[in-house]
Amino acid sequence: MARKRDPLEKVDNLARRKAKYAPVAAALTAVYGELDWSRNQDGMDELVSCILSQSTNDMNRDRAFARLKERFPNWEAVRFAVLDDLIDAVRPAGLANQKAPRIQDALTVIFETAGEYNIDFLNDLPLDEAKAWLVSLKGIGPKTAAIVLCFAYGRPAFPVDTHIFRVCKRVGFLPEKLSADDAHPVMEAIAPPEDYYQFHIQVIQHGRDTCHARKPACDRCPISGHCDYFVNES
């Protein structure tokens, strides 16, 4: 069997890409401020919320998550719910016919693993093992695994969502042909682990505020001087 290629082997000029980090991070911090990690949701809530967030926006995700919490008293009730009832509860998130079974499948595996509906045991595993366990769940990929570990447990995992993938390709942190899944370990190699949480949020905010998908506002971008896209388009 052929050896799976390390994503970092697919990155040319890694030193040049890493050199961009310090000035870009400083510029984004000047705009968006410094951020300290804080836990807004426990691991279970974060995991289910992430499943609901797939292929939809934050508003629809939050509506679906609130409806799920209103209709079911606990995770056991969600696991053993009539599937049609769970589908109806999470319908605002879209793709409910896929997401509801994924949630029930995940809850089954979690209970069989931990004997309870709790994934705090992930905090005691080495990071690579925790990531591997999460991505072994049906419908869970590297982004969801990184979000759960970073946001619920403050662990050094760097989630790459659509905003981060777009901005980091434009800036030149990521090669143009690199896949989204491969982008996670590359960004973890570029940013210092202690900055993952802050830089993740800053880049998302920058993608929403300035580096738009269709018409990036390069004229008012604080990092345009370090951006390959801006240099090539100028």
pTM reported for the whole predicted model: 0.91
Give the mean pLDDT of 58-71: 97
Confidence of residue 59 (pLDDT cuts 50, 70, 90): very high
Q: What is the pLDDT of residues 111-139, one digit of tens each?
A: 999 999 999 999 999 999 999 999 999 98
Which pLDDT score is estimated for 6? Answer: 86
Distances (CA, A) of 40 to 18, 37, 110, 148: 30, 9, 21, 11
Q: Which of 96, 103, 117 is nearest to 51 (CA)?
A: 103
Structural tokens at position 26: 């400083």
- What pLDDT score does 39 carry? 83
Amino acid at position 39, single letter: R
Residue showing tokens 């691991």: 43
* Residues 122, 149 contacting (CB under 8 angstroms): yes
% of the chain at pLDDT higher than 90: 91
Between the alpha carbon of residue 216 and those of residues 84, 150, 206, the distances in Å are: 42, 28, 10
Model confidence over 151-194: pLDDT tens digits? 999 999 999 999 999 999 999 999 999 999 999 999 999 999 99
Rounded to an integer, what distance in angstroms lies between the CA atom of residue 102 and that of residue 40?
23
Residue 214 has a pLDDT of: 92
What phi and psi, each to the nearest 5 degrees, are found at residue 200? -55, -50
What pLDDT was estimated at residue 9?
Answer: 86
Closest CA to 191 of 162, 228, 156, 154: 156
Placement of tokens 């040049």 in the chain: 16
Tell me the pLDDT band of 38, cut-offs 50, 70 and 90: confident
| Number of alpha carbons in the 13 Å side-chain half-sphere of residue 73 | 0
Q: Going by C-beta distance under 8 Å and a sequence separation of 6 or more, which residues neighbour residue 197?
A: 35, 37, 150, 151, 154
H or E segment at 79? helix 75-79
pLDDT of residue 3 exceeding 80: no
DSSP state of 137: S
